Amino acid sequence: MAQKAPDMVVKSNSLIEASYTLTLNEIRLLDIALAELSSYEECEKHVTTLPEMIHIRAEEYAELYGVTKDMAYLALKEASEQLFTRYFTYYVKTEHFPSHKEVRKARWVQEIGYVEGQGVVTMSFSKRLVELAGKLKSNFSRYHLEQKAPLTSMYAHRLYEMMMQWRGSKTVPYITYFELRERFGIEKEEYDRVTNFKARVLDQAIKQINEHTDITATYEQVKEGRSVAGFTFKFKSKQSKKPVIKDANKNVTNAKSDTTKRPPKAIPTMSAPQRNTFANKLLNNFDFIRDYSAQTIGKSREELLLWVEQELEDDEKRQEMRKHILMVGYEFPDKLKK
Determine the pLDDT at residue 236.
93
Percent of the chain with pLDDT over 70: 82
Determine the pLDDT at residue 297.
65
Contact criterion met (CB below 8 Å) for 150 and 67:
no
DSSP string, 92-146: EE-SSSTTSEEEEEEESEEEEEEETTTTEEEEEE-HHHHHTBS--STTEEEEEHH
Determine the pLDDT at residue 154.
93
Distance, in Å, from the CA atom of 19 to the CA atom of 264, rounded to the nearest integer, reads 48
Contact criterion met (CB below 8 Å) for 305 and 283:
yes
Residue 334 has pLDDT above 70, yes or no: no
DSSP string, 233-253: EEEEEPPPPPPEE--SSSS-E
Residues 299, 145, 130, 75, Cα dihedral to 10°? 180
Determine the pLDDT at residue 251.
47
Look at 217 and 167; give whichever has higher pLDDT: 217
Residue 107 has pLDDT above 80, yes or no: yes
Pairing of strands 120-125, 109-115: antiparallel
pLDDT tens, residue by residue, 243-254: 444 444 444 444
**229: number of Cβ within 10 Å:** 14
pLDDT band at 320 (very low <50, low <70, confident <90, very high): confident
pLDDT band at 184 (very low <50, low <70, confident <90, very high): very high
Determine the pLDDT at residue 248.
41
The residues, any chain, with a CB within 8 Å of residue 202's CB and separated by 6 or more, are 155, 159, 219, 231
Residue 165 Rama label (left phi>0; alpha psi -120 to 50; beta) = alpha
Which CATH number does 1-149 carry? 1.10.10.10
pLDDT band at 44 (very low <50, low <70, confident <90, very high): very low
**What's the chain's Rg over C-alpha atoms?**
22
Q: Name the least confident of 96-105, 161-170, 180-189, 271-280.
A: 96-105
Distance, in Å, from the CA atom of 328 to the CA atom of 270, rounded to the nearest integer, reads 15
Long-range CB contact pairs, 109-115, < 8 A, 24+: 109/80, 109/83, 109/84, 111/53, 112/80, 112/81, 112/83, 112/84, 113/53, 114/76, 114/77, 114/80
**Average pLDDT of the chain to the nearest whole number:** 82
Contact criterion met (CB below 8 Å) for 280 and 274:
no
Sign of CA dihedral 83, 126, 164, 172: negative
Domain locations in the chain as residue ranges: 1-149, 150-239, 264-337
Determine the pLDDT at residue 216.
95
Residue 283 has pLDDT above 50, yes or no: yes
Instruction: Select the highest-mean-pLDDT range: 136-145, 214-223, 262-271, 298-307.
Output: 214-223
Residue 259 has pLDDT above 90, yes or no: no
Determine the pLDDT at residue 176.
95
Average pLDDT of the residues in 49-66: 83
Domains 1-149 and 150-239 share a fold: yes
Q: Name the least confident of 97-101, 111-115, 309-313.
A: 97-101
Distance, in Å, from the CA atom of 118 to the CA atom of 9, rounded to the nearest integer, reads 26
Q: Name the least confident of 28-42, 167-181, 314-328.
A: 28-42
Percent of the chain with pLDDT over 90: 40
162 backbone dihedrals φ, ψ, rounded to 5°:
-60, -40
Distance, in Å, from the CA atom of 40 to the CA atom of 201, rounded to the nearest integer, reads 35
Residue 38 has pLDDT above 50, yes or no: yes
Instruction: Please state which of the four CATH numbers 1.10.10.10, 1.10.3720.10, 3.90.79.10, 3.30.300.30 is assigned to the domain occupying 150-239.
Output: 1.10.10.10
Distance, in Å, from the CA atom of 272 to the CA atom of 278, rounded to the nearest integer, reads 10
Contact criterion met (CB below 8 Å) for 13 and 138:
no
Determine the pLDDT at residue 45.
45
Q: Which helix (H) or strand (E) holds 219?
A: strand 215-224
Distance, in Å, from the CA atom of 330 to the CA atom of 278, rounded to the nearest integer, reads 8
